[in-house]
Structures are given as C-alpha cells and as structure tokens.
C-alpha cells in the first residue's frame, strides 16, 4: 500500500506526497524507509526516519515527509499493521501430527507433534502449532490460531478468529469438592463445557475451567492476558478486557465492556455490571455486585472513596497531634476552674 491508499483505508487526511510505498509499521525511533509510525500527541514527535506518520487532527507542524491526520493515530496504526502483516498462510500438515480418523480437520497448518482427538471439527485457515493438544469432540472455528503446547480438553467449543497463546489450558476440571467429614473431600462432578466465542484472545499459560455441570463462556471480542485463571461456570461478556494474573472464582458473571486490571481476585457468584472498571490488585468479595464506574482496593470500593480513605489514613498522624493539643487545652481549662 502506498501512503495515499493508507490515508483512504483509515479515513484520514493526507498532508504531503502519497506515492511512497509502506511495507511495515514501526516505532518512531527505529523507523526506516518504508515504515509508517504514529504519534498520539504533537509533543511526542522526536527525530524519525519513518516514511510517513499518523498524527492527531490538530497536528500542524511542517515535516519533510507525508503525515496522515486521523482522530485516533494509535487505532489507525493498529489497523494498518493488521493490513500490512496478515496472518501467514502455512499450508502444511506435519507428518508427525496424530489426528483421529473421525476428526474433521480443514486447518491450514498443523504443526509437529500436534494431537487431535475423536470427532473434533477444525475449521478453515486454522493454525494449530507444535505440541498443541486438542481433545475429543472439540469444535474450532475458522481462522483461529492455537499456539504451541496449548491444551484444549474434550468437548470445548472455540469460535472463529480466536488466538490461544502458548501453554493456555482450556477446559480443565473446575475446583469443586464436598467435604465428607473426617475422611476428606469427594470431587464434585466437573462435566460441563467451555464455550469461547469469536475474536477472543487468551494469553500464555492462562486457564479456563469447564463448567461443573453447565458451561463456562467468553463473549465475542474479549481479551484475556497471560496467567489469568477463570473458574468453572464463569460467564464473561463481550469486549471484556482482563489483565494478567487475575483470578475469577466460580459462577461469577462479568458483563460486556468491563475492564479488569491485573492481579484482581474475584470471589464466587459475584456480578460485575456492564461498564465497570476494576483496578489492579483489587478484591471482589463473593456475591458482590459491582456497578458501572471505577473501583479499587480490597474489598473494592469506588475509586473516589478509596482515595479519600487513603488520604484519611495518611492524615492520622495529624489527627493524633490535634487530639493531643486538645487534651492539653482541656487540662488547662480544667485547672483554671
């Protein structure tokens, strides 16, 4: 694509020549000939050898190369990156892969030592990388990418354009037991399913447990970072973002468009209502309903309240000193009587 075509593709406003060919995206500092970069604010501009820049709409400096003015330069950059670097077609089914005869596999790429179980159905243009384990009766939609050494247990259903990063485990048994007096625990049946809808990305070494009896479900477009733990029967809505190392306990519901920080812990049967934002390391008690807005701390409270409370704790020393002063004054008043 040349610069002019890119301007049209992102709906931007081109200043300068449109004929230079763009081959790659890059950051400002490392950009070279053929690269496009971006700045979110005019003041972020530093020396660059980029062939073209996305800039914000109010950018008005004269540069020795073309710029494309857009409302959201970072978004335009991400969109062009996907266009310039489409997922490579591999067109190989490695001879070592073990695919059950009853499986229906249309995948474009199956790596070395992949195993695919009985009756599983794998869509078109799917990539399953080396060492990934796909169980029995698994469904995987078109254009999905399963990175090396992922494990998908039996009966899981995974949508289209999903990405599972290396070591992710989908559909392990949930953590459910019933105490039987002194003899210990009896395992509660963990025989439900997992459904991952389209356009979900799940990070490396993250875990999503199957439902105990029902299902665990992730809605379309949801983004999960590395080392996240999702317990049995959790339901996560569409376009939810969950940062690394967060853990969600059984049967909790996270509605559409929530944003959850890293290392957050949620008790079971909580409900995070659509549009809630929860800060990193926060703790949500079991059964808690978290309303839209920004939440922080353990147990979670509205960010404003959290800040006020922190300020009050910080102010304790002053409070103590004031109290001491009052004591002195009262002692004087009493003595003067």
- Annotated catalytic sites, by residue? 232
Per-residue x/- mask for a second copy, residues 132 to 161, rule CB under 8 A? -x-------------xxx-x-x--------
Count of Cβ atoms closer than 10 Å to residue 218 Cβ:
29
Residues 81-100 binding a second copy (CB under 8 A) are 81-82, 85, 94, 96, 98
Least CB distance to a second copy at residue 293 (A): 18
Least CB distance to a second copy at residue 215 (A): 10
Q: Are 301 and 283 in contact (CB under 8 A)?
A: no
Q: Are 176 and 156 in contact (CB under 8 A)?
A: no
> Contact with a second copy (CB under 8 A): which of 63, 142, 175, 269?
175
What whole-number distance in Å separates Cα of residue 93 and Cα of residue 100?
A: 14
Is residue 130 near a second copy by the rule CB under 8 A? yes
Least CB distance to a second copy at residue 315 (A): 8
> Contact with a second copy (CB under 8 A): which of 140, 231, 260, 300?
231
Backbone angles phi, psi at 9, to 5 degrees: -60, -40
Helix, strand, coil percentages (3-state) for the chain, rounded to 5, are: 20, 30, 55
Is residue 187 near a second copy by the rule CB under 8 A? yes
Pairing of strands 293-296, 301-302: antiparallel
Pick 17 or 330: Cβ nearer a second copy: 330
Long-range CB pairs of 184-191 (<8 Å, 24+ gap) are 188/212, 189/213, 190/232
Is residue 177 near a second copy by the rule CB under 8 A? yes
Pick 139 or 202: Cβ nearer a second copy: 202
Of 139, 104, 144, 141, nearest in space to 128 by CA: 144
Residues 301-320 binding a second copy (CB under 8 A) are 308-309, 312-317, 319-320
Pick 25 or 62: Cβ nearer a second copy: 25
Residues 37-76 binding a second copy (CB under 8 A) are 72, 74-75
> Contact with a second copy (CB under 8 A): which of 205, 288, 294, 303?
205
Site stretch for a second copy (CB under 8 A), options 2-10, 54-62, 119-127, 219-227: 219-227
Q: How many residues bind a second copy (CB under 8 A)?
A: 102
Q: Strands, DSSP E only, in 57-138?
A: 67-70, 92-93, 98-99, 104-105, 109-110, 115-116, 121-122, 127-128, 133-134
> Contact with a second copy (CB under 8 A): which of 1, 14, 63, 241?
241
Is residue 191 near a second copy by the rule CB under 8 A? yes
Helices and strands: H and E segment counts in the chain: 4, 39
Site stretch for a second copy (CB under 8 A), options 4-12, 57-65, 120-128, 323-331: 323-331
Least CB distance to a second copy at residue 69 (A): 17
Q: Are 136 and 156 in contact (CB under 8 A)?
A: no
Pick 19 or 27: Cβ nearer a second copy: 27
Is residue 122 near a second copy by the rule CB under 8 A? no
Of 38, 106, 48, 100, nearest in space to 70 by CA: 38
What whole-number distance in Å separates Cα of residue 191 and Cα of residue 173?
A: 8
């Amino acid at each position: 694509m040349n610069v002019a075509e890119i301007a049209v593709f992102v709906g931007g406003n081109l200043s300068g020549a449109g004929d230079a060919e763009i081959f790659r995206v890059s950051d400002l500092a490392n950009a070279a000939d053929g690269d496009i970069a971006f700045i979110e604010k005019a003041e972020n501009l530093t020396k660059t050898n980029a062939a073209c820049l996305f800039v914000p709409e109010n950018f008005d400096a004269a540069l020795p190369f073309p710029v494309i003015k857009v409302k959201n330069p970072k978004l335009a950059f991400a969109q062009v990156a996907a266009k310039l670097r489409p997922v490579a077609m591999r067109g190989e089914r490695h001879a070592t892969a073990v695919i059950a005869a009853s499986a229906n596999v249309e995948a474009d790429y199956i790596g070395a030592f992949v195993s695919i179980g009985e009756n599983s159905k794998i869509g078109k243009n799917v990539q399953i990388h080396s060492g990934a384990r796909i169980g029995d009766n698994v469904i995987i939609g078109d254009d999905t990418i399963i990175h090396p050494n992922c494990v998908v247990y039996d009966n899981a259903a995974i949508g289209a354009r999903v990405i599972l990063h290396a070591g992710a485990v989908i559909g392990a048994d949930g953590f459910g037991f019933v105490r039987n007096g002194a003899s210990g625990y009896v395992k509660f049946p963990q025989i439900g399913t997992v459904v991952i809808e389209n356009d979900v990305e799940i990070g490396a070494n993250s875990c999503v447990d199957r439902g105990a009896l029902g299902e665990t479900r992730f809605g379309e477009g949801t983004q999960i970072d590395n080392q996240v733990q999702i317990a049995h029967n959790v339901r996560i809505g569409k376009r939810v973002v969950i940062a690394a190392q967060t853990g969600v306990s059984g049967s909790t519901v996270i509605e559409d468009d929530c944003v959850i920080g890293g290392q957050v812990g949620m008790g079971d049967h909580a409900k995070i209502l659509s549009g809630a934002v929860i800060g990193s390391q926060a703790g949500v008690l079991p059964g808690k309903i978290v309303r839209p807005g920004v939440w922080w701390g353990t147990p979670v409270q509205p960010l404003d309240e959290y800040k006020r409370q922190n300020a009050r704790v910080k102010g304790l020393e002053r409070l103590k000193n004031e109290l001491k002063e009052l004591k002195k004054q009262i002692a004087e008043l009493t003595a003067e009587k």
